Amino acid sequence: MISEEELIRRCKEHDRSAQKMLFEKYANKMMAVCMRYCKNQEDAKDLLQDGYYKVLTSIKSFKGNSRIDTWMTRIFINLALNRNRIGRNKYSHYEFDTKFEKADFDEEPVNENIEAKLVIKALNELPVIYKTVLNMYAIDGLTHKEIAKQLGISEGSSKSRLSRGRSMLNAKLKRKK
Amino acid sequence: MDNLKQIDNILKKAVADMPNNGHNLSSDWDAIEKKLKHRKRRIILLWSFLALFISSSLILFRLNNNNTVNKITTTRDVVNKKDKSQHSSNESIKNEKSINNPLPYNKEILNPKISVVANSQNVTTQKDNTEPKKDTETSNRFELTLHSKTINIFNQEINQPEKIVFVKLQQTKNLEKSNRTAYKQGWEYGISFTPSISNKIVQENSNLSGLVNRNYNLFIRNQEKSSFANNFGLNFSYHLSPKLFVSSGLYLTQRAEYTNYKYTITEFPIVTNGEITDYAPLNPLAYVDINHVGSNLYHFIEIPVNLGFKQSISTNFEIRSQLGLSLLSLTNIDGKKGNFLNLQLEDLSDLKFNTYNIATSVKSGIYFNKKRFNIGLEPSYSINLNSLNDSKTSALKTRPYSYGINLSTNIKIFKE
């Protein structure tokens, strides 16, 4: 088993076997990221391929200031945000759920013991603008400043979307439960 | 509101607990590997094209050099044989040879102390100021004695030497000019810089035109203006004849746009079957304020192939006009742009653009020529022929263009 530094060095030299090893090492983790930012598995699969292509062709710019998977996750998020807006996936993400817009926002917290599958399903049902901020902040650990920069919005907008997203998810989880 | 922070923990836990979905990774790797190989092929193709172009240029250059040497040798042989049969004096032979180089002739003709006897095929000089040698065999022969009041030209005596000097100088200039243009075949290498103003033509992509937001023109398109860009690179041209040349080079080219967005997104487009069918108002909490001022830059590597025409307008100046096509390879993009569908601001580096583009350009201007170099100033215009946007993902077709002043300086490698 080669070290991560060696793996990255070899990837920078376009060593195909090292590139495959890097893919295999983080594919599941990145697929999970893709699934969170895409509506269905087909889109996620597409994003996984495009993301890895971008990672492998721009790995020379990786300076080692962070973990490689963190750097890769950022690349995948960037791509996902782009695809969610103008993606090749027939613009399915822009189907606006007006019924959900009319739903009440529940501020009473839901019980933590809830099935993971239900949580992910509820997250995927949120409008994309809230789902994205929740994903970026709560799961991927980006700050509001970073989210604002990535999405081209103000930090205030990011905070309000997060708050609204939490409230909507909470309401949805309560209903599912 | 703080109560709901536990939602973050629920989410994290859910993501960690989610089982692997059993996705087949090997097919994904195959697809990625295919893309990587395709990219490698494209790079190899580009380099092969460049190598082919440079090597064929070098071969052409060498062939031209060989032809020049052969021609000079042949001319000298002919002259030597002719000299031996027709002239007995060594001085005549030397003067016959001097016709191959126009410079000695010009020097002598402008020296008022030297009498010149010339015809269309040879030139002989007399170094004393006595009677010039007359030859009645050729009708177009003329004699010029600058210090004498009487001139015999084309076997006619004229008593107005000033006019003759004028006529002679005019003929000298014409001869000098024709000699110089006759030798203008060869290479020019140099650098060029074109500061320009860049803008774009935007049209709707008919396949996705139903996806353009009704506020796009008001909020985005009308807020995108011309911006400064430049083009810098190496150029080389081969001059096929006194009037015609082909040119190419390798340039770093920019196209640009200035953006000044200031709007609030208050509604969301409802898309059904790939078309906006309605707009739903956003909750005021979810309004998005866009405030962005900046320049978007598209960086290309450009390889042009131009056909050029030139026309001398004086001894040192000429007009050159060029028209041609360029291959532009998109290398980098900087900036942010409003999305045509949801009006959100997005980073250009995340968008999909056509890597290879074809552009056409035209330029025409004035060149100051010296023996070994020239400096040119040419207004130029260039426009992309195909859309910069990817036609599968963008509802808009964007064809950038630029107009500017091309400043170039070249070193001449002409055969003489």
In order, the DSSP letters of B133-185 are P---S-TT-EEE-TTSS-EEETTEEES-HHHHHHHHHHHHHHHHHHHHHHT--
> Taking CB atoms and an 8 Å cutoff, what residues of chain B touch A169?
7, 11
CA distance B350 to chain A (A): 6
List the single residue in A24, A79, A167 with the smallest CB-CB distance to B4. A167
What angle, rounded to 10 degrees, do the helices at A116-125 and A16-37 form?
70
Residue A15 has pLDDT above 80, yes or no: yes
Residues counted in chain B: 416
Mean pLDDT, rounded, of chain A: 81
User: What is the reported pLDDT for B66?
Assistant: 63
Long-range Cβ contact pairs of B115-120 (< 8 A, separation 24 or more): B115/B143, B115/B144, B115/B145, B115/B146, B116/B143, B116/B144, B117/B141, B117/B143, B118/B142, B118/B144
**Cβ within 8 Å, pair A164-B286:** yes
B308: tokens are 């050029």
- E strand intervals along A34-155: none
Q: ipTM of this model?
A: 0.77
User: What is the reported pLDDT for B367?
Assistant: 93
pLDDT digits (tens, 9 = 90+) for B370-395: 888 899 999 999 999 999 998 888 88
Q: Which domains does chain B have, with CATH numbers?
A: 87-181 (no CATH), 186-414 (2.40.160.20)
A65: tokens are 């200031």
Residues counted in chain A: 177
List the single residue in B211, B288, B393 with the smallest CB-CB distance to A157. B288
pLDDT digits (tens, 9 = 90+) for B263-302: 889 888 988 877 888 888 888 878 888 889 999 999 999 9
Mean pLDDT, rounded, of chain B: 75
* Secondary structure (3-state) at A155: helix
Mutation choice for A interface testing from B15, B39, B278 by most A CBs within 10 A: B15
- Phi and psi angles of residue B43, each rounded to the nearest 5 degrees, phi first: -65, -45
Mutation choice for A interface testing from B350, B390, B392 by most A CBs within 10 A: B350
User: What is the reported pLDDT for A40?
Assistant: 79
Residues above pLDDT 70, as percent of chain B: 67
User: What is the reported pLDDT for A80?
Assistant: 85
CA distance B9 to chain A (A): 8
Q: Which residues contact B86 (CB under 8 A, 6 or more apart)?
A: none
> Taking CB atoms and an 8 Å cutoff, what residues of chain B touch A173?
10
Beta bridge partners of residue B359, listed in sequence order: B326, B384
Tell me if B267 sits within 8 A of B210, measured CB to CB: no
User: What is the reported pLDDT for A86?
Assistant: 44
User: What is the reported pLDDT for B148?
Assistant: 45
User: What is the reported pLDDT for A106?
Assistant: 65
List the single residue in B4, B344, B349 with the smallest CB-CB distance to A151. B344
Q: Which residues contact B347 (CB under 8 A, 6 or more apart)?
A: A78, A82, A150, A152, B335, B336
Binned at pLDDT 50, 70 and 90, residue B98 comes out as very low
Q: Which residues contact B366 (CB under 8 A, 6 or more apart)?
A: B313, B317, B318, B319, B320, B376, B377, B378
**Cβ within 8 Å, pair A94-B270:** yes
Residue B229 has pLDDT above 90, yes or no: yes
Residue B13 has pLDDT above 70, yes or no: yes
How far from each other are the two terminal CA atoms of chain B, in whole angstroms?
Answer: 87
Q: Which domains does chain A have, with CATH numbers?
A: 4-86 (1.10.1740.10), 96-176 (1.10.10.10)
Q: What share of chain A is helix, strand, coil (3-state, %, to 5)?
A: 75, 0, 25
Residue B233 has pLDDT above 90, yes or no: yes
Lowest mean pLDDT among A53-67, A160-174, B165-179, B231-245: B165-179
Binned at pLDDT 50, 70 and 90, residue B3 comes out as low
Tell me if B361 sits within 8 A of B326, measured CB to CB: yes
**Cβ within 8 Å, pair B274-A48:** no
**Cβ within 8 Å, pair B28-A123:** no
CA distance B204 to chain A (A): 15
What's the whole-model pTM score? 0.45
Name which of A167, A163, A82 is nearest A122 in CA terms.
A167
Tell me if B135 sits within 8 A of B141, measured CB to CB: yes
Residue B114 has pLDDT above 90, yes or no: no
List the single residue in B11, B23, B283 with the smallest CB-CB distance to A31. B23
Name which of B154, B273, B259, B149 is nearest B198 in CA terms.
B259
User: What is the reported pLDDT for B159?
Assistant: 52
Name which of A34, A42, A131, A30 is nearest A90 in CA terms.
A42
